[in-house]
Structure 1
């Protein structure tokens, strides 16, 4: 059986912050203090509830997985920060490139179509 995400499904959206710090740490396989350390170094910024409690999303958990992979590979926290920044910038560029390619296809299609009324 496939579990669905989102408002009509069973799982929260990937960017919806629903996990407390102890649950997020447990799911990531790290300690709570390690999670706080990563936050202090700016590697991850969880949302905060109205009372100031940290709340983590599935996207945050995926980022934590990437951080732990890099730590396991021997990369220091400053290097991890730089790698994550570059990966984020690269992902943004891919989104922009895809949009520009779609715009280009759309504009070329409009160029080849005869004007209306002819």
Structure 2
């Protein structure tokens, strides 16, 4: 899977998408970045902790798959940003950050369609 291309396509969906990253479930950054004009809200050490917590939560959700089915995405809205996580094949996840004013339902559907094509 060309993760860099996928990240670029997702960033191109909406100008209010701040960042798109793909992480292996061991925490390794595989691709992605922030939109040029956007500044990170988290210091690097807090970003690292946040990603490890995100990956741990996905691993925990997988325990429920036999009962609830496979997870499609997870959305968390903070005061300053919305963060959506999508599982990928090959033990990876996409983490998308966007402005709180964005209509996320439309973007989620478009991202899911892109993931299906890859």
* TM-score for both structures, normalised by structure 1: 0.29
Return the structure number with greater helix share. 1
Larger Rg: 1
* TM-score for both structures, normalised by structure 2: 0.29
Return the structure number with greater strand share. 2
